[in-house]
Amino acid sequence: MQQYFVKGKIESPLVVVDKDTAKHMFSVMRLKEGDQVTLVFDDGVKRLARVLDPNQQSLEILEELADNTELPVQVTIASGFPKGDKLEFVAQKATELGAGALWGFPADWSVAKWDGKKLAKKSEKLEKIAQGAAEQSKRNLIPEVRLFDKKADFLVALAAFDRIIVAYEESAKEGESAALIQALAGLEAGAKVLFIFGPEGGLSPAEIEAFQQAGAILAGLGPRILRTETAPLYALSAVSVLLELGK
């Protein structure tokens, strides 16, 4: 069954006011009277709805659905700005794997340099990718996208998390294999977890020190060295196995 994220009040009948969503529903997917879809509002609750009038873009809500596909903890993926369209790839796949937010920051060794105008365009593109991936993977929410213009602002934001884990390739090289499991152990449902990943060149010693001062744990992600766009997917898969499937 098709799923859509809709804005506005939870009411029946409902008129879809977001132009992009309405276009996709009634022009691209050609929904007709009587078709049933799943709608997700800002409260994250899925609701079964039926099309009343495709011309008026109206639907009636039939019932709430108990389906919840979210991870037991709130995971934010923070990547040092990578080259090219790697962040777009991460946005799509991390959304499918359950990330609650996607952040980007200007790392010391980031080759990509994005000014305010570029960041705004990048954010808009990432938000659309995240929404599409959230609909496809039947999520209850669309991950938040936040790109930091200044690393100092990113460091201040670290205080909001219950656990901070830095993917550190030196730990992997040294054979460390338990830090990730230990860092995720004992987390309560709803805990806020931040994973930090460096760009192609990795994280600088100064960044590692700053993250540790903020309470971060350094962890290897298995014995192999992963690319910057692969590491977040490994981390999210590990969270699912350890905290979701293992329960």
pLDDT tens for each residue of 46-65: 999 999 999 999 999 999 99
Q: Which domains does the chain have, with CATH numbers?
A: 3-65 (2.40.240.20), 74-245 (3.40.1280.10)
Distance CA 154, CA 164 (A): 13
Q: How close are the terminal C-alpha atoms of the chain, in Å?
A: 28
Q: What is the pLDDT of residue 225?
A: 87
Decide: pTM greater than 0.85: yes
Element (H, E) at 217: strand 217-219
pLDDT surpassing 70 at residue 243? yes
Distance CA 192, CA 239 (A): 12
SS3 label, residue 200: coil
Distance CA 99, CA 193 (A): 10
Angle at 75 between CA 167 and CA 247, to 5 degrees: 100
Distance CA 52, CA 35 (A): 8
Residue 219's nearest CA partner among 153, 159, 172, 151 is 172
Q: What is the pLDDT of residue 223?
A: 86
Length of the chain: 247
Strand 3-5 and strand 46-53: pairing?
Answer: unpaired
Q: What is the DSSP letter of 51?
A: E
Across the beta sheet with 58-65, the strand order is 3-5, 36-40, 46-53, 58-65, 14-15
| Mean pLDDT along residues 141-168 | 96
* Cis before 13? omega within 30: yes
pLDDT in tens, 96-122: 999 999 999 999 999 888 888 899 999
Neighbours of 231 (CB within 10 A): 22
Strand 192-197 and strand 74-80: pairing?
Answer: parallel
